[in-house]
Amino acid sequence: MKQLQRARPGPKNAAQRIRPIITRLKRRYPEAKCALDHQDPLQLLVATILSAQCTDARVNLVTKDLFAKYRTAPDYANANPAVFEQEIKSTGFFRNKTKSILGMAQALVERHVGRVPSTMEELVALPGVGRKTANVVLGTAFGINQGVVVDTHVSRIANRLKLTTQKDPVRIERDLMKLVPRKKWADFSHLLIHHGRQICEARKPKCEICPVSELCPSATVGRKRHDATSGRVSSRASSSRAPQTK
């Protein structure tokens, strides 16, 4: 059986590895950005709420018509819930998302003259808006680095890179904020999300073509099997032992 080989090790300390990790990912994904189609903060806020448990591609298909019909916060606030549910049904969890989006829009009208606020405190006070959604809007729509967006890709890759040992998104974000330079917080999330979609997949990471394999404690070359949640690596024989003949 071919021996399991680890990628050539780089610096072990996360603080030493973070800058070269960012540099290599940036070189690999120079155009990494938010994949949700939008033209203003309100559209991005709506799209981000819709993206929960849904692909960005599906959200973009839905918002193409949605944004043509609903252009302002009052438009959403005055929407018929039953009709809106059908319009976003294909994104999943459409009843909860309808409640969140219409409630968020009503709050924008009542508290912010229909405009999306640009502070974390005001955003997370809106119905259906958590820290992750607020970070997306602040970083992408306003260029404000208030935190690091932690989705499933970011969580998985951060653990595989040993930038954190946490599973809770808030704790993962806290660890990443300590390591990543603040001016790169928003970009870092986009880089990891692109990397997770293209190379560092949950079940079959492509370590052999990964630009940061030499900086990743979980990376292997040759036969390997990655644990989908923790990023741990174990070897598996290429063939089972043949039965003995008597």
Catalytic residue IDs: 132, 151
Q: Which two tokens stand for residue 30?
A: 């120079």
Q: Which contiguous run of DSSP H or E holds residue 213?
A: none
User: Are 65 and 87 in contact, with CB atoms under 8 Å apart?
Assistant: yes
Burial of 80 (0-12, 13-18, 19+ CB in 10 A): exposed
User: Are 218 and 162 in contact, with CB atoms under 8 Å apart?
Assistant: yes
Q: Which two tokens stand for residue 200?
A: 């560092």
β-strand pairing of 220-221 with 225-226: unpaired
- Residues in Cβ contact with 150 at an 8 Å cutoff, skipping those fewer than 6 apart: 132, 158, 169, 170, 172, 173, 176, 189
